[in-house]
Amino acid sequence: MNSKKLILVFLVLLCVASIAFTKELVVWTWYGAELGQVLQELVKTDFTAKTGIEVDIQVVPIDDIMNKLLLSFIGGDAPDIVELYSNQVVELGIRGALLNLSEFDDIKSITDDLNPMLLPAIQYKSALFALPGEINWEWTYYRTDIFNEMGLEPPQTWDDIRELSIKLKARNMDTYYFYQGDGVNVGKLLPLVFQRGADIFNAEGTASNLDSPEAIAAFKELTALHTDYHLVLEDPVFGTFAGGQTPLQILQNWYYAGLEMTNPQLSGKWDIVLFPGTKQADGSLNRTNTGKMLTWSIVSSSNNKDDAWELMKWLGSTEFTTEFMQTSNRIHGNRIFFSNKSSIEYAPFPEEKLHLAKEALATCRMQTAVIGGHVANRYIDFAFNKVVIQGDNPEAAIRQAAKETTDEIQRKLKEFDRYIKTL
């Protein structure tokens, strides 16, 4: 082979190597519009500038991501990193679509900065399939001007909620308890179960625990809030809070920014307190709440797992999350929060209220991931509707939900058995 051919072959090999070396990470995210621009700019000016790793950020609507991911995974063109809701993670991970992050040596240094009650939603046995990102928890909003005029104190316990609902109803005003996400009534029930030291599934994840004394008591308390104390089932939150028709509302944290932006005339006339708690035998107050959580996962088919892990760690870092929160707030007053304990110290939130955000994050517990559990949530909705709308017996309704949930879990465990054995 003459020297010209050798040079040509060398240049071709060099070109191929260069292309392989500069391969971009592909990230699917629901952050679009202004938030998407913020994310892309931070990735470019910080992460890529420091690491040399190029990133192609693609916006996919959150409601479409799971199905699109499965199709792209089967078709061989899946992204390297995907943003998912926490309740989508475990079943995708067990099917083999998501990488077990426990394989990375430095995983503990990342999880140590997280509220440990968030992790059961994204892990199964010893496998961890995602890292938490943006988070919404529940706390209580109330109209201070109305409470002051009526001589009322903000609620600290569920006993307070019941008492206040009676007093407000006497003045033709309502109380609203709402959870936004899949399984509205599951989200409302979970904290009442958690505050009793229980869960809605057994410890092995093989059956429902809804027929336990703690879960039955929690379900009776939840339904009684509506049947006996007449908390409203639906409410156009912003309008009724502003108009004073519903001056006491338990909502997720993002409503704080919504109330600020939609009702500036209420400035100084409303406030927040932590989620209502249940008194324990020792006199302490358990205020465990729940919420929704966005997460980041590495797709198992990625050919750039090490680079993807570097980006994952950066997305969960105090540096990124702090800048993302603060920039988002500067652009349009969107007070979002991330789940690591370090960055919340720098959240763009009123300084005098920041301690509430820290405590709310520290007491936020996500639904435990159980095979078939997410599908089985509908049985709690069925039981709730039987009691609140049809007037059925609450204990009978929740025991039936427990049986149907266990049946669903057992079916799913058989379906997923071949995947579970590989963990």
Mean pLDDT of 19-33: 79
Mean pLDDT of 61-67: 84
pTM more than 0.85:
yes
Percent over 90 (pLDDT), the chain: 85
Please state the domain extents for the chain.
22-134+292-362, 136-290
- Residue located via tokens 């077990």: 100
DSSP per residue over 106-126, as a string?
THHHHHTTB-GGGGGGSEETT
Angle at the Cα of 300 (from 296 to 301), degrees rounded to 5?
A: 125
Q: How far apart are CA 64 and CA 342, in angstroms?
A: 31
Instruction: Look at residue 89 in the predicted model and tell me its pLDDT.
Output: 95
Least confident of 4-18, 81-95, 407-421: 4-18
Q: Go through the chain and tell me how many residues it has.
A: 423
Q: In whole angstroms, how far apart are CA 138 and each of 145, 188, 216, 387?
A: 22, 10, 22, 24
Query: Half-sphere exposure of residue 183, counting CA atoms within 13 Å on the CB side?
Result: 20
- Say if CB 223 and CB 417 are below 8 A apart: no
Q: Report residue 318's pLDDT band, with 50, 70 and 90 as the boundaries.
A: very high
Render pLDDT for 228-254 as a digit per residue (tens, 0 to 9): 999 999 999 999 999 999 999 999 999
Is there a common fold for 22-134+292-362 and 136-290? yes
The overall average pLDDT reported for the chain is 92
Instruction: Look at residue 66 in the predicted model and tell me its pLDDT.
Output: 85
Highest CATH level, class, for 136-290: alpha beta
Highest CATH level, class, for 22-134+292-362: alpha beta
Read off the DSSP letter of residue 105: T
267: left (phi over 0), alpha (psi -120 to 50) or beta: beta
Mean pLDDT of 118-125: 95
Query: Half-sphere exposure of residue 326, counting CA atoms within 13 Å on the CB side?
Result: 12
CA 74 from centroid of its chain's CA atoms: 27
Percent over 70 (pLDDT), the chain: 95
Render pLDDT for 284-294 as a digit per residue (tens, 0 to 9): 999 999 999 99
Going by DSSP bridges, is the β-strand pair 278-279/81-85 parallel, antiparallel, or unpaired?
Answer: unpaired
